[in-house]
Amino acid sequence: MDPMKRSWMALTLALGLVLAQSTYTVQPGDTLYSIAKRFGTTVEALQVLNGLEDPTKIAVGQVLKVEGQPPAPAVQRLNAPFGALELPREVSQGQTFRLRVRSGAQVTVRFLNQRYAVQGESLLIAVPRLHPEGTYAIAFDAAGSSYSARLPVRAVEKGRQALTLSPDTAALLQPDKIAAELARLTDLCKSGPAEQLWQSTWKKPVDSNRITTIFGIRRSYNGGPYRSYHEGLDYGAPTGTPVFAPAPGVVALAEALFVRGNAVVLQHGLGVCSGYWHLSRIAVKPGQQVKAGDLIGYVGSTGLSTGPHLHFEVRVHGVPTDPAAWLVRAP
């Protein structure tokens, strides 16, 4: 199958479009935006559902598949010795899910070799994109007692992308500097406000409907092995296009990085952060509080980049998760 078609199919999965489909016939005066608004969905969702690479090219009489917002994931409610638990029946690679815990005791959670402390009554966990499919134990410890359940992790096929880098760009692929930069970002994303700062689905960070690379696609550089994967969502846009905060947050980083170029990191609470790479200019400072829609920078092509675009990334406790899902239904 053509890699671009695989990418569109993968993004459909990433957006979680699982409702029964219906159709709509394009009428005079319709735009993809007006149709999306009518059906309570997004332009991106209609694009991937109908294989539309250019959202401006729809014709009167054209029949489009349409769907509304995806349903909340099915949950299981369990009674542990220390209180009530609520968690999904299954999760997918690259997905963020929410646990709810009602207990008077301090609860810790162990899942996929990681340990988390529940703050308040909820916890967000991101499933690593490349973690093997299977059913895994999720364990809870509180008040001197333990409880465990089984949670299936489903595989998601995202396809592959072979990139050809110029010698100057390829020179940025230095393992020691890549590792140091990643460690710093991971630490930033494990800190920040304890409370959740957002209250609704996140907004798109840039006024562009041209998605050039999806989250999770495996990558090869200059004919090398497919060892890595794309950790965010790329929007193609001209240099200088404004970039906005998709949700309330605190600026944790605003500076030039070796690989990611001019970068901004926002902390959103509950261990969630978002990143904006390859900017031409930065418009915020560390410590600054931002609201959804506030200007944070401008699209560029700095760092390890093959052309002007915004790389938009979301991490939960340092683990990359699919940003597209946060634009449809934030966990």
Q: What are the structural domains, with CATH classification, of the chain?
A: 19-66 (3.10.350.10), 75-154 (2.60.40.2950), 160-328 (2.70.70.10)
How far is Cα 323 from Cα 214, in angstroms, rounded to an integer? Answer: 9
pLDDT band at 71 (very low <50, low <70, confident <90, very high): low
How far is Cα 322 from Cα 330, in angstroms, rounded to an integer? Answer: 11
Instruction: Please compute the mean of the pLDDT values over residues 17-34 and round it to a whole number.
Output: 66
Q: What angle do CA 188, 194, 196 make, to 5 degrees?
A: 100
How far is Cα 14 from Cα 234, in angstroms, rounded to an integer? Answer: 14
- pLDDT on residue 44: 76
Residue 12 has pLDDT above 50, yes or no: no
Residue 9 has pLDDT above 60, yes or no: no
- pLDDT on residue 73: 63
How far is Cα 69 from Cα 200, in angstroms, rounded to an integer? Answer: 13
- pLDDT on residue 4: 43
Burial code (b: 16+ CB inside 10 Å, e: under 16) for 103-112 equals beeebebebb
- pLDDT on residue 1: 44
Looking at residue 167, its amino acid is P
How far is Cα 73 from Cα 81, in angstroms, rounded to an integer? Answer: 25
- Most confident of the ranges 21-35, 90-104, 110-124, 241-255: 241-255
Which is higher by pLDDT, 330 or 140? 140
How far is Cα 313 from Cα 310, in angstroms, rounded to an integer? Answer: 10
Residue 10 has pLDDT above 70, yes or no: no
